[in-house]
Structures are given as structure tokens and as C-alpha cells.
């Protein structure tokens, strides 16, 4: 298992839970896997396919998703193919013949094909040894992405009752998991849930006011990186795309109203890094297997928490830090309410409304975003993430006693019977017709918070609801009253600290990287090389190497095939295909960096130092001792050895052997360097128990 992991996928170790899942599935037992996007679900059926005989059939809902996975497997040297409507009939028949002859370890097909008698007859003539069901939540009527075609999987179970099935999804509540087991008729199965927390995703929910400016700011902050912006309607996606293009941002539109050809064109351009931003409705996303999306923005809050989790899961699938931002406005619910009113099925409408309320509760809550999400999926006990907007805000508080008193007093004075919008209008001194109709402009609280924006007051109110100082009244409309706890706060004149309101757009720290101190200039050069190779081969750039691999290359700078093999993501096939190209390119980049550094040092060097270095070179050629050189230049011997280090960096042909200590001493110092590295001399000095001077150690290091 470990050998295949390195040979085909280039990894030295498994991610959490992968090995347990693979062990269970390889043993021939049914398996359900709930693992976050980017957690490595695909490997859980791809590696077993290499370990067992015959062919594994993979059910996948979208052509683009199949294509990306088949491209990636082929690049890794795994025999895989897909059968779908995008393939020419003649080519399709050839692939089906090759499949019967056992040419493929994995075959990707869509669920609707299982209802086709011809396909089932074809499967019967093959050595099918396993079934993998990707995006398995689609089989459940309780799932947010229910697809009736997934019910065809029952036919597979009937046809192949003894073959193990693995069902995989990133977002499934306990009810959906139960439905998956029932619909697939799984037996002797085990459910593996790895947790829903994605530590590399930094979540922010911010007021929607100034949405366009905020979106442009966020995209520019991620300049040159892949971004998805989710909008409510088709019209909204088109309008925003035009605005972004006018700002010089490379953007494309994606929604269900476009032709299949146009949608494929936009998706391909995004996957291949020809377009950096896709502005889309929720029609876009499930088929995206792109690991390096660095920002996902929700311009309108989503309809369900499951959908939201699935959509933010498209960011940072490679494990590198990425941002997810929701622009929230309670007013957005009015748009959704309009569509809810069109639904005649009251049971379904109530279910949808409940889901929307959950999203609103999430957006307005003041507990750690990740604690809220993971608890929703039944994964409780997660400590605060420390990186979301709530956690960051909780670390930066202010005395909010006065504004809290004003808000609660306004709620009481208006009769504990109004929604947040009305309370805010009264506090800001609005002459809105509803305020005047009720005579609320006569209240002492009218206009007591004119200096605060509507957005700021709404944010404070959201915090008070979350803290239990205000509570919702029963009834159809969302109105609020001061709770008993709030009344106690007013009566006892208590003090309160609240997180400072977010005045600036924040996101993940770009300093937070998998490989600290990697060379960003070399990383960008490697990205360009990767793009050139990908374009030549007609595949997405990440199929060549992911950003994680490029960052590691930029840190370790491998210049031999042996060093290149140690890079994560470099398997046997990729070593053979790209080893020479990348190591030679890195060698050139290294040399360029060295030359640039030399020029920089020379340009910053004083005339006096330049003269001393030149004089030292001449004395080295004359085989002068350290003492003679120090005396001639009126410097210490320690300074002379530092000069020699600089000289050797520029010209390795300068002979310093005559200055070195005995062979025995050299050997002992060299062994110490091997153990402690060459960055610092003190560990070597201490390793040798102070027997040798720093000058001796420095000269051996020069050698």
C-alpha cells in the first residue's frame, strides 16, 4: 500500500483516516466515507483499485469532474477512462471494448447509464470488482443535491450483490448518511466520518453594504489566483462579471441559462488558469476538482448550510491557506421569500424556510464559525479555530456598554414588538412612514444613535441576540423583545465588552504557508513553467503538479532526480516525464539568483572592502598565512576568514587547502556539519567540545 502510494501518487504518508478506510474497503466490505473536500476522498477508492484485480466502476455526477480525475490518474500512470455523452460514439465503443479486455483499472460513468440495458449487459461481461459512488449525498432525498438518477444504483447492487461498494461525500448529516446506507442496500458496512473542520479555510461573514467594492478588493488581494463568486441570480452574475472586466479583472460567467458549450468553455478556461474569476450561480461547482481556488465569495447568502459547506469546500482543496467570505444582509431573505411563496407544496416550503433560517442564524451568530458548522453536522467539541472573523474579533474587544443600553432601551420603548430594521430606524432618527405612523419620532430614544451606520447597529443587535440579551417573539414575523437577561443588564447597570466592529476587510494571513520561507520568486517562475507544459499537453496545470509540490520545490530547490523524488506529489511517472525539465529549470533559476545576489553585494560594497577582498585574493594565490593577511590589512584573522567565505562563493577555484587544519580535524568538523547543517557554526563548535576555533570551522565549511 505504501509503495503504491509513492509510486503512483507521490506521497510518503496517508492523510488522516485514509489508511483505515482503504484497509476496510480492500477487505471486501461496504464503506461510507464522510470526509471534507480536500481531505483525500478519491484516494480511498483509487488506491484499492490498484491493489485488487479487475476493474472499479466509479459513479460520478458530472462530465467535468470525471475528466479532471481521469486526466490526473493518467498523468500519474494509472489506466483510467470515462464513458459519457461528450465522447464520440466510435471512441466510446472502442473504450467499452478495451474495458472488456481489462485495459482499465478505473472507469468513470454517470448514474443514468446504469438504467441502460446495453450498459448493464456490457458490465456483466467484465471483471467488475468494486463500485465507488462519488458525491453520494445525491442519492438522498434529504440531501441538498438530490438527483433521482442516483436511485439507479440499486440496479447495480441487484446485478452485483457480492461486490463491495464505497460511497463518498463531503457533506452529509446523520439523516443523509442513513439514507445512503438504505438506498445502496449496504451490508456489513462501516461509516467513517473524519470531521468537518477545514483548518486552512479562513471564514469571514461581513455586512453586504458596499458589496461591489468589497468583492473587487478581495479579488485584487488574491491577484493571479483562482476565485469563485456565487450570486443569487443569472442576471446578477452577468452584471458583476461586466463590472469586474471593466476593472481589468479576468472573469467569466457561469449559470444554467447558458448553453452547454458556453458553460464548458468558461469552466475549461477557469480550470486551465486562462480565466481567474468565475462569477456563478450554484449551478457551478460540484464538477470542479481544481485544488488551488484561493477565495470563495458568497455575494448572497446560500439557501442551506449543507450547500454553503459544499461551496466553501471548493477553496483550498490542496490544503494551502484560502479565504471564504459571505456578504450578509437580512434583506437578502426577502428575495428568497419571494421564491418560497411560489412553492405549492407546503411541506417542502416549510423545509426550505427552515434551511434558510439556519443559514441566517449562522451568519448572525457570534460563536466561532467552525464550531457552528461542525456542530451542525453533529461533530461537536471542536475548540475555537482562532482564524475566523468571530475568533479574530473576540480577541479585539471594546467597551460597548453605552450602545448596548441604547439598543435595549429602544426595543423596550417601542414595545418589544418590532423587527431589527424598525429599531434601527428609530435609533438613527428616521422619518420613515412606519416610524411616523406609530409616533415613534416622539420617543426619547428617537435619534439617539445617529452617529452609527445601519450596518453597525445591525451587527450589534446580532451580537445581543447571540448573547441572549434579546430574543425572538413567537409568531409569523421576526420581531424581538428584551429577554430577562437583557432586563437584568439594564436594571443592574452592568458593563459589557463586545468584539470591535470590523471596519476593514480581513482574510487569511498570506504569511501562513505550508512551506515556510519558500522562495516566492521561484514559485511564480515554476507556476509559469507548469502552465506552459499544461497548455502543451492540453490538461489543467494542477494535473502536472499542485501548488503544494511547487512550494516545496521552491524551498528545497532540487537539482538532481534523487532530490526531486523527495518532493511531495512526485511519483514514478511524473519523475520520468518532468524530472529533467524541472531540475534543469531550477538549476538555472538558482544560478540566476546567485548572480543577482553577487551583483547586489558588489553594488552595496564600499571601495575599502572591495580593495581588501581583492588584496585577500592575491595573498591567497601567494599562499600567505592568515596571520600574514591579517597583519597586512590591519584586520583580525576572524575577519579574514569571513572574507575568504565571500571569495569562495564567487570563485570555487581559489585554493585554500593549505590553510586547512589536519585531515583528522577536518573529518571531525565535517561530521558535525552533516549532523547539524551548515547554516550556523555554534552547534558545530559545541559538538566538537570547543576543541577547534571558529576560524578553523569556517574554513572547513568553505571547503
Question: CATH code at 534?
Answer: 1.10.150.80
pLDDT value for 445: 95
Three-state SS for 573?
helix
CB 474 within 8 A of CB 467: no
Question: Can you give the pLDDT at residue 301?
Answer: 84
Question: Is 554 domain-assigned?
Answer: yes
Flag the least confident range among 46-60, 111-125, 130-144.
130-144
Q: Tell whether 387 is covered by a domain.
A: no
Whole-number mean pLDDT of the chain?
87
Number of helices (H) and strands (E) in the chain: give both, helices first: 32, 17
Residue predicted with more confidence, 174 or 567: 567
392 lies in some domain? no
pLDDT score at 505? 52
Q: With a cut of 50, say whether residue 511 has pLDDT above it.
A: no
> Which one of 603, 631, 658 terminates a domain?
603
For residues 292 and 348, state if they share a domain.
Answer: yes
Residues 23 and 129 in one domain: yes
| Residue 555 covered by a domain | yes
Domain co-membership, 257 together with 359: yes
Say what the pLDDT of residue 123 is.
Answer: 92
Q: How many CB atoms lie within 10 A of CB 377?
A: 20
Write phi, then psi, for 658 (nearest 5 degrees): -70, -20
Q: Are residue 423 and residue 485 in the same domain, yes or no?
A: yes
Burial zone of 395 (CB within 10 Å; 0-12 exposed, 13-18 middle, 19+ buried): exposed
| pLDDT above 70 as % of the chain | 94
Q: Which of 332, 349, 382 is the last residue of a domain?
A: 382
pLDDT of residue 114: 84
Asked whether residue 106 falls in the same domain as residue 136, the answer is: yes
Q: Output the pLDDT for position 497.
A: 84
- Comparison of pLDDT for 442 and 515, the residue scoring more: 442
pLDDT band at 330 (very low <50, low <70, confident <90, very high): low
Q: For residue 510, what pLDDT is reported?
A: 43
189 and 219 co-located in one domain: no
Does a structural domain hold residue 388?
A: no
Residue 622 has pLDDT above 50, yes or no: yes
Per-residue pLDDT at 334: 67
For residue 506, pLDDT over 60 is answered with no
User: Does residue 497 come out as left (phi exceeding 0), alpha (psi in the -120 to 50 range) or beta?
Assistant: beta
Residues 36 and 130 in one domain: yes
| CATH code for position 254 | 3.40.50.300
Q: Using CA atoms, how far apart are residues 697 and 687, in angstroms rounded to an integer?
A: 11
Residues 45 and 104 in one domain: yes
- Over residues 20-53, the pLDDT tens digits come to 999 999 999 999 999 887 778 899 999 999 999 9
pLDDT band at 516 (very low <50, low <70, confident <90, very high): low
Within a domain: residue 479? yes
Domain of 91? 2-193
- What is the pLDDT at residue 144? 53
**Confidence class for position 579, pLDDT limits 50, 70, 90:** very high
pLDDT at site 395: 63
CA–CA dist 617, 607 (Å, integer):
16
Q: What DSSP element (H or E) covers 297? A: strand 293-298
CATH of residue 476: 1.10.10.10
pLDDT of residue 513: 44
Q: Is the domain of 100 the same as that of 211?
A: no
Whether the pLDDT of residue 593 is over 80: the answer is: yes
**CATH number for 676:** 1.10.10.1390
Predicted local distance difference test score (pLDDT) of residue 176: 84
Residue 516 has φ and ψ, to the nearest 5°, of: -60, 145
The CA distances from residue 479 to 354, 417, 461, 475, in Å, are 17, 6, 12, 8
Kindly state whether residue 74 falls inside one of the protein's structural domains. yes
User: In terms of domains, do 235 and 275 share one?
Assistant: yes
Is a pLDDT exceeding 60 seen at residue 697?
yes
Within this chain, do residues 100 and 229 fall inside the same structural domain, yes or no?
Answer: no
Look at residue 379 and tell me whether its pLDDT is greater than 50. yes
Task: Tell me what pLDDT residue 285 has.
Answer: 60
* 694 and 614 in a common domain: yes
- Distance (Å, whole) CA 151 – CA 171: 19
pTM for the whole thing? 0.70
Domain end, chosen from 551, 575, 603, is at 603
How many Å apart are CA 557 and CA 543, to the nearest integer? 21
Pick the more confident residue, 278 or 499: 278
Q: Is 119's pLDDT higher than 70? A: yes
Q: Is the pLDDT of residue 146 over 80?
A: no
Please check whether residue 17 lies inside any domain of the structure.
yes
- How confident is the model over 45-97, as pLDDT tens digits? 999 999 999 999 999 887 778 888 898 899 999 999 999 888 899 999 999 99
Burial class (CB in 10 A: 0-12, 13-18, 19+), 680: exposed
| pLDDT band per the 50, 70, 90 thresholds, residue 504 | low
φ, ψ dihedrals at 279, nearest 5°: -100, 120
Confidence of residue 141 (pLDDT cuts 50, 70, 90): low
Contact 427, 449 (CB under 8 A): yes
Domain tally, the chain: 5
State the average pLDDT over residues 316-341: 81
Amino acid at each position: 500500500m505504501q509503495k503504491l502510494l509513492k509510486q503512483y501518487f507521490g506521497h510518503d504518508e496517508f492523510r488522516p483516516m485514509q489508511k483505515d478506510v482503504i484497509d476496510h474497503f480492500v477487505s471486501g466490505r461496504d464503506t461510507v466515507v464522510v470526509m471534507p473536500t480536500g481531505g483525500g476522498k478519491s484516494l480511498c477508492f483509487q488506491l484499492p483499485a490498484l491493489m485488487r484485480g479487475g476493474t472499479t466502476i466509479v459513479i460520478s455526477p458530472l462530465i467535468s469532474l470525471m475528466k479532471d480525475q481521469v486526466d490526473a490518474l493518467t498523468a500519474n500512470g494509472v489506466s483510467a477512462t470515462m464513458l459519457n455523452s461528450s465522447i464520440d460514439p466510435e471512441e466510446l465503443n472502442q473504450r467499452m471494448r478495451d474495458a472488456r479486455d481489462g485495459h482499465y483499472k478505473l472507469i468513470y460513468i454517470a448514474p443514468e447509464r446504469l438504467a441502460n440495458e446495453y450498459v448493464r449487459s456490457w458490465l456483466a461481461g467484465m471483471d467488475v470488482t468494486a463500485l465507488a459512488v462519488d458525491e453520494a449525498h445525491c442519492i438522498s432525498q434529504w440531501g441538498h443535491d438530490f438527483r433521482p438518477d442516483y436511485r439507479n444504483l440499486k440496479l447495480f447492487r441487484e446485478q452485483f450483490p457480492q461486490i463491495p461498494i464505497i460511497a463518498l461525500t463531503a457533506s452529509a448529516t446523520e439523516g443523509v448518511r442513513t439514507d445512503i446506507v438504505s438506498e445502496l442496500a449496504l451490508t456489513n458496512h462501516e461509516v467513517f466520518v473524519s470531521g468537518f473542520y477545514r483548518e486552512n479555510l479562513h471564514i469571514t461573514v461581513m455586512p453586504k453594504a458596499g458589496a461591489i467594492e468589497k468583492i473587487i478588493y478581495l479579488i485584487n488581494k488574491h491577484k493571479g489566483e483562482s476565485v469563485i463568486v456565487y450570486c443569487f441570480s443569472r442576471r446578477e452574475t452577468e452584471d458583476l462579471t461586466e463590472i469586474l472586466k471593466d476593472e481589468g479583472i479576468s472573469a467569466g460567467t457561469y449559470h444554467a441559462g447558458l448553453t452547454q458549450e458556453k458553460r464548458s468553455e468558461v469552466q475549461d478556461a477557469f480550470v486551465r488558469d486562462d480565466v481567474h474569476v468565475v462569477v456563478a450561480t450554484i449551478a457551478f461547482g460540484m464538477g470542479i476538482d481544481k485544488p488551488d481556488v484561493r477565495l470563495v465569495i458568497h455575494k448572497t447568502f446560500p439557501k442551506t448550510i449543507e450547500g454553503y459547506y459544499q461551496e466553501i469546500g471548493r477553496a483550498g482543496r490542496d490544503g494551502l491557506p484560502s479565504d471564504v467570505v459571505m456578504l450578509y444582509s437580512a434583506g437578502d431573505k426577502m428575495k428568497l421569500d419571494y421564491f418560497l411563496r411560489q412553492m405549492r407544496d407546503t411541506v417542502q416550503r416549510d423545509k426550505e424556510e427552515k434551511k434558510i433560517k439556519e443559514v441566517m442564524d449562522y451568519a448572525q451568530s457570534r460563536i466561532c464559525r467552525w464550531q457552528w458548522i461542525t456542530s451542525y453536522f453533529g461533530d461537536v467539541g471542536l475548540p475555537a479555530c482562532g482564524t475566523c472573523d468571530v475568533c479574530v474579533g473576540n480577541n479585539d474587544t471594546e467597551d460597548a456598554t453605552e450602545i448596548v443600553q441604547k439598543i435595549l432601551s429602544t426595543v423596550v420603548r417601542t414595545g418589544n414588538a418590532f423587527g431589527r430594521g424598525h429599531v434601527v430606524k428609530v435609533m438613527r432618527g428616521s422619518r420613515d412612514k412606519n416610524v411616523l405612523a406609530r409616533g415613534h419620532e416622539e420617543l426619547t430614544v428617537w435619534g439617539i444613535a445617529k452617529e452609527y451606520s445601519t450596518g453597525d447597529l445591525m451587527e450589534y443587535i446580532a451580537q445581543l441576540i447571540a448573547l441572549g440579551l434579546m430574543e425572538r417573539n413567537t409568531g409569523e414575523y421576526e420581531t424581538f423583545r428584551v429577554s430577562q437577561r437583557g432586563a437584568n443588564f439594564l436594571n443592574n447597570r452592568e458593563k459589557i465588552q463586545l468584539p470591535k466592529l470590523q471596519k476593514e476587510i480581513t482574510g487569511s494571513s498570506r504569511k501562513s504557508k505550508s512551506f515556510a520561507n519558500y522562495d516566492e520568486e521561484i514559485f511564480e517562475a515554476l507556476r509559469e513553467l507548469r502552465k506552459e507544459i499544461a497548455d502543451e499537453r492540453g490538461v489543467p496545470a494542477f494535473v502536472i503538479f499542485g501548488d503544494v509540490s511547487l512550494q516545496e520545490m521552491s524551498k528545497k530547490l532540487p537539482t538532481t532526480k534523487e532530490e526531486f523524488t523527495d518532493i511531495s506529489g512526485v511519483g514514478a511517472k511524473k519523475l520520468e516525464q518532468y524530472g529533467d525539465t524541472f531540475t534543469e529549470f531550477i538549476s538555472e533559476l538558482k544560478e540566476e539568483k546567485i548572480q543577482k545576489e553577487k551583483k547586489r553585494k558588489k553594488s552595496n560594497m564600499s571601495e575599502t572592502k572591495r580593495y581588501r577582498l581583492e588584496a585577500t585574493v592575491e595573498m591567497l594565490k601567494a599562499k600567505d598565512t592568515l596571520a600574514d593577511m591579517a597583519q597586512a590589512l590591519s584586520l583580525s584573522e576572524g575577519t579574514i576568514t569571513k572574507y575568504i567565505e565571500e571569495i569562495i562563493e564567487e570563485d570555487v577555484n581559489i585554493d585554500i587547502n593549505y590553510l586547512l587544519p589536519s585531515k583528522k580535524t577536518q573529518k571531525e568538523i565535517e561530521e558535525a556539519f552533516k549532523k547539524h547543517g551548515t547554516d550556523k557554526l555554534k552547534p558545530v563548535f559545541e559538538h566538537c567540545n570547543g576543541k577547534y576555533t571558529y576560524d578553523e570551522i569556517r574554513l572547513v565549511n568553505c571547503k
